[in-house]
Structure 1
Amino acid sequence: MTEKRTDPLLLAGKAITIFMQGVTGLAAAALLIAMPVLYFWRDDISAELATELGPQAGDFPLGSALAVIALALIAVGIIFVFFGRLRRIIDTVGHGDPFAPENADRLNVMAWLLLAVQLIQVPIMGIGLMVAKWADEVGHDDITIDAGIDLTGILMVIVLFILARVFKLGARMREDLEGTV
């Protein structure tokens, strides 16, 4: 049992999940600060943009920017929860009980969380394209938006749903085995 607790892979996985939760926490704090700053100083921001880019830049799409920040905040919160679930799975592996029924539930929730992040990206891309169009209109055509389907993310969602079923089956098989002994 002590061998599993000092497993470098499990220690690294736990450290990474804690680090990622810290990063997402900082990102959430930054987004929470950015929203009111952008809203309350919108006139100053528009005036500065008009000064730097010309009068046509004064109609900065503030609503779009706030919507992207709000959606990003939701995505960051989802990712924070995702890494919390992953850390709990790593803990059960470290304790020698990976096929706990809770892990199947955690994997299932993690799959839904990643699917939600994938879906949140769709309106963010649409809004980003609107902002890129605005940038084109004000002569800042160097702003580009990469919009597309994230096949890796979709594959990860599918893999997590499959792993959830594998863990559920493993937990059931373990219960059956314990019942026969």
Structure 2
Amino acid sequence: MSGTAASLLRPIEVGDLPVYPIARGERLESHSFFLFHFDRWLNSDLYLLGDWDVKGVATALWCLAQNQDPVGTLPDSPRLIAALLRMSTDQWEGYTRREPSPLHGWYHCTVGDEVRLMHKVVTEVAVAALSQRLKGQDRRDADRERNAIKRLRMRVEALGHSRLAAQDMFIVQLYRLLQERYPGGNSTDNRVIECMEEMGVRDLKH
């Protein structure tokens, strides 16, 4: 049995295990690819010393980890890993006895109260992908807010307050008040008028 695989079968002292940096529930269901550092792969011990079938199974594990919860991990169970690979437990355990094995580079970690397997490079890729997803969400949220404020400015102007509509601070404060009073709701004329009156504006068109 390979050194990596053997170490994964020893009794586990949970308190000594690293905490996985991605929380349970974090997944990347929508992505269909991941960053592949081919130069690191071509210079790795697994590529240089592993048999081709072992390298194929290892690559399958990296791909399967992308759909796990949390993303980038594997279950700490030979039966579950074998099931993910669509092979028998005996066949999988045969692979773990190879040197190096498909589990080369994987080690135990904790996710809450659960023990799972992580791989340094797979984790790096997963963290980077999540970061990019969050940046994309931030951009979409900013665009949505910018368009909502633009529409609100036009509505205030239509209500006969072009001077207030030109004041960025007023429009932003009005937008925030509307979000506070009607979170996720539409900014109808009546709601805009209500919030403007709350801010001390008079002589509004009803």
* TM-based fold match above 0.5: no
Higher strand fraction: Structure 1 or Structure 2?
2
Say which structure, 1 or 2, has more relative contact order (CA 8 Å, 6+ apart): 1
Please give the TM-score of this superposition, normalised by the length of structure 1: 0.29
Higher helix fraction: Structure 1 or Structure 2?
1
